[in-house]
Structure 1
Amino acid sequence: MPKKRILEFSTFAKIGGTQKILLDFLRHASHEKYDYSLCVLLEHDVLNEEVSLLGLENTSLHMRGYWDLTAWWKLYCFAKPRHFDLIRTYGLKADIIGRLVRKLLGIPVHITSVRSTDPWRKWYHVLLDSLTSSCTDLYLSNSEAGRIAVCRRERVPEAKTFTIPNGIDLTRFNPLSIDENRVKAMKACWGIGPSTKTIGIVANLCRMKGHDQLIDALPQIQSRFPDLKCLCAGTDFLNGKIQQYARRRSSEQAVIFSGFQKDIPEILALIDIFVLPSLWEGMPTAILEAMAMKTPVIASAVGGIPELLEHGKSALLIPPAEPDALAEAVLSLLDNPEFSNELAENAYQRVHKHFSLDAMVSQTEALYERLIDQHLPLKKADAS
């Protein structure tokens, strides 16, 4: 039986939560049954390089706008001869372009990925989505919060939506397999003492992640723990604005901006508390990773985060945009290590029970199979 041909179509190739999940999915997918390819709407970056290492075909369009005819031609030449059975898109721009390509080339199935609640969307974003929504077969969300948001905002029928939660590689994120020498070296590199209390956030520097809220909370935390360090790991999408804000708040000595990092398990092993003060979310991969590493979590109660964690049992959940609440939560865990460890243990058990990468991959490919089979033309024997 010939392989089903799948095109994964992402707006960005810079590594964020969506791209990490997509990359892990492709690493563990059933390549004996499916022929996967990747197309990136914008610039070539880490995602392309990692997918190339998997031996999968991929391209980047470097699209400058919706009317970039060169990019359209490149996309046509990539997709037309491969006769894809299904295209799945990630990000609003990729959603719109992917739906049009689906119609242009007659690709049987289109899936729109819903990765967040996206309250930032303006009326024209909603209009674009609504005008092209007839070209998509399914809105596939990683959280119930995201699924409900798209139903309400774009008036998508519930029957046209589905939820498969994110999953992570629990063999990679395993506290028993950490290289302690690597952790010590990273601490030394960043000037973190062996007994220095350290909080951290693993997230690209962008407005939704709430780095400014964390910086606002630091003075209150440092009044009790003056030597505390705050590690921020992630690519800067704000052109240095968060670093400037830390300087204005006189927190630059406490905050370490490490940039993009690959050694996330080791980072989670070296911090005492993982914080994610997001303003909005879908189902953040970084929280799942912290749960798997038994790193205590403090996060905003937004989007799909309450689907991951229960306040007071597996994490501390706080209101968004309230740095005082964030500071109080951090201090409560630093002051109560036994309670902190209890939260971390409960979160560890929960991620192993509900959010494995194997479960996500098997559920996703079963969905792909079902949608493709629904769109296969009837054979003569079936028709009779």
Structure 2
Amino acid sequence: MTESSQEKTGESAKRLRICLLTGSFYPVVGGGERHAHLLCRELSRQGSEVLVLTRRRTRDLPRCEAMDGFTVIRVGPSGFPRLGKYLMLAPALWRLWRRRRQYDLIYVCGLRVLGLAGVLAQILVGKPCVLRAESRGELSGEFIWKSPEGQIKPMLRAFFSPLIAIRNRLLMRATCFLSISTPIREEFLAAGVSPAHIADIPNGFDVATFSPGAPEDRPALRQKLGLPAAILYAYSGKLNRGKGLERFLRVWERFAANHPEVHLILIGSGRGQHLSCEQALWTFVREHNLEASITFTGYVDVVQDYLHATDIFVFPSESEAQGLSVLEALACKVPVIASRIPGIMDMVTDGVNGRLVEVRDEDAWLKALADFIEKPEYFRHLAEAGYNTVQNHFSMAATSAKHLAVFWQLMPSRKEGAMQAD
């Protein structure tokens, strides 16, 4: 399919036409990428016309393709894992201008850089622009001067703060800001966004894909995936700095030394990410002779199969806007042990539908891992409650419907009052 074959003009009175602008999209694997893919599919299923504008991260990806009922357009440059979003600003803005008759609204997922292109296009073509933060620190500027481990870099803050202030003056002209969690809303408010211009819509998950597995199928599934007949602990997500994995492996070394019956699965990769710590994790595993108790899966498209095969999910991240991987584990009725951090606490209540542990308390993590072995009935109760939580509040169908409710409010003939997600 060529890009020219996708050109369409004219207005649609009944179908909302959405252009989703994002720096990274499927087949790149990560929480944000999975969510954007599922959301586009569901928006299309619910009657919207969706156009995805993203970066062509590698040259083997097609410039234009049809996918699950919507169209994906990829712009250059390829490569440049750290600077790619900056370098795609001009091509993205040009494409937004060129295709201005093909969409009614611009939805930017990841506002730190591409928010500029979205708002400039809003000004140039007169279409509403919605900005969504994918992670904490995007609007405040902390993504520049705060490390994934939480350390502030004063020199970077002093230099970039004025530039962030200038950027934010433009971003504040966006029609609406979309918050996926309490810490993101608080960041928006602290930056000066009016509460009337904030819509609160948490991430959703695919209920058809992520659902409880049959216990009787677990042995065969483990054999198919090459997993041992052990007590399986699993993490799913990017193998990046800021996910707490370096610290967690230190805990795992102590835990596995006293529990030879356990095994850890790291589902995901850091390949192509400038924050990747995958190689460092591999090195730690080899140097500490942990190969027998840890499996690296790399990028996989069947995360749900690994969740169905596992006994318990761990998520030691140091900072999250929400944490889609936690939702997916809860949806599969897998008990969860996660960091006690904003974003996760919007989904998990300690002792009610999961366990929360202080991020840097290695002894507390060690105890929580051991508690699963010692208190299986307690964790089964938590898993049941976690499953009920996500079914009631986080389905992708409900998330998509909330998006559409907000988007329709922003259309020129209907824009009035505060943003409502429900």
- TM-score bracket relative to the smaller structure: 0.7 to 0.9
Structure 1 match to 2:15: 3
Identity of aligned residues (%): 21
Partner of 2:68: 54
Question: 1:134 maps to which residue?
Answer: 172
2:57 equivalent to 1:43: yes
Check if 1:342 corresponds to 2:381.
Answer: yes
Cα distance between partner residues in 2 of 1:134 and 1:331: 48
**Residue aligning to 2:343:** 304
2:295 aligns to what SS in structure 1?
strand
Secondary structure of 1:135's partner?
Answer: coil
C-alpha contact 1:86 1:107 (8 A) present in aligned 2: no
As a proportion of its length, which structure holds more helix? 1
Matched, 1:180 2:203: no
Distance 1:285 1:86 in 2: 25
User: Which of 228, 232, 238 is 1:192 aligned to?
Assistant: 228
Question: Quick one: distance in 2 between partners of 1:50 and 1:218?
Answer: 44
The equivalent residue for 1:222 is 256
Number of residue-to-residue matches in the alignment: 370
Tell me, in whole angstroms, the C-alpha distance in 1 between the residues paired with 2:254 and 2:367. 8
Structure 1: gaps spanning 5 or more residues: 377-384
Residue 26 (str. 1) matches residue 32 (str. 2): no
1:258 is aligned to: 297
Matches of 2:238 and 2:130 in 1, distance apart?
Answer: 26
**Aligned equivalent of 2:403, options 352, 355, 364:** 364
Q: Structure 1 residue 29: deviation in Å? A: 1.7
CA distance in 2: counterparts of 1:317 and 1:173, whole angstroms = 22
Please show how residues 40-189 of structure 1 align to structure 2 within 5 Å.
40-43=54-57, 52-63=66-77, 64=84, 66=86, 71=91, 75-76=95-96, 78-82=98-102, 84-91=103-110, 92-104=112-124, 106-118=125-137, 119-122=142-145, 123=157, 124=160, 126-127=164-165, 129-152=167-190, 154-176=191-213, 180=217, 184-187=220-223, 189=225
Q: CA offsets, 1:306-361, max 9 Å, x none?
A: 11011011111011133322121111112110111011111111111221122111
What displacement does 1:159 show?
Answer: 2.4
- How far apart, CA to CA, are the structure 1 residues paired with 2:414 and 2:58? 32
Could you say what secondary structure the match of 2:408 adopts?
helix
- The corresponding residue for 2:330 is 291
Aligned-partner Cα distance in 1 for 2:181–2:51: 25
Q: Which has the higher mean CA deviation after the structures are superposed, 58-67 or 269-278?
A: 58-67
Q: Distance in 1 between matches of 2:251 and 2:241?
A: 16
Q: SS of the counterpart of 2:411?
A: helix
- Aligned partner of 1:272 in structure 2 is 311
Instruction: Tell me the secondary structure at the aligned position of residue 234 of structure 2.
Output: strand
Report the Cα offset of residue 279 of structure 1.
0.6
**Structure-2 separation of matches of 1:357 and 1:95:** 24
Q: Give the secondary-structure state (helix, strand or coil) at the position aligned to 1:115.
A: coil
Secondary structure class of the residue paired with 1:52: strand
* Local SS of the residue matching 1:207: coil
Find the aligned partners of 2:399 and 2:301 in 1 and give their Cα distance. 22
Q: CA deviation at 1:202?
A: 0.6
Deviations 1:186-229 (A, max 9, x none): 44543412xx1110101111112211122011122113312421
SS at match of 2:192: coil
CA contact (8 A) 2:205 2:395 kept: yes
Find the counterpart in structure 2 of residue 331 from structure 1: 370
Question: Partners in 2 of 1:308 and 1:173 — Cα distance?
Answer: 16
Q: State TM-score, norm by structure 2.
A: 0.79
Distance across 1 between alignment mates of 2:133 and 2:283: 32
Structure-2 residue corresponding to 1:210: 244
Q: Separation in 2 of the partners of 1:109 and 1:67?
A: 24
Supply the distance in 1 between the matched residues of 2:64 and 2:19 (Cα, whole angstroms): 16
Contact 1:16 1:204 in 2 (8 A): yes
1:49 CA displacement: 9.9
The 1:188/1:94 distance shift into structure 2, 3 A limit, reads: same
Contact 1:178 / 1:266 at 8 angstroms: preserved in 2? no
Contact 2:183-2:343 within 8 A present in 1 as well = yes
Secondary structure of the equivalent of 1:349?
Answer: helix
Please show how residues 228-247 of structure 1 align to structure 2 within 5 Å: 228-236=262-270, 237=273, 238=276, 240-247=279-286
Partner of 1:382: none
Structure 2 CA distance for partners of 1:318 and 1:45, relative to 1, 3 Å: farther
Asked whether the 8 Å contact 2:41–2:69 carries over to 1, the reply is: no
Distance 1:316 1:187 in 2: 29
CA distance in 1, matches of 2:344, 2:251: 20
Q: How many angstroms apart in 2 are the aligned matches of 1:208 and 1:121?
A: 14
Kept in 2, the 8 Å contact 1:281–1:303? The answer is yes
Query: TM-score if structure 1 supplies the norm length?
Result: 0.87
- Amino acid of the residue matched to residue 195 of structure 2? E
Aligned to 1:16: 30
Q: Aligned to 2:228, what secondary structure does the other structure show?
A: coil
CA distance in 1, matches of 2:400, 2:69: 19
Equivalent-residue separation in structure 2 for 1:355 and 1:323 (angstroms): 31
Q: Which stretches in structure 2 are left out of the alignment for 5+ residues?
A: 1-12, 78-83, 146-156, 416-422
Q: Secondary structure at the match of 1:43?
A: coil
Give the C-alpha shift of residue 126 in structure 1: 3.6
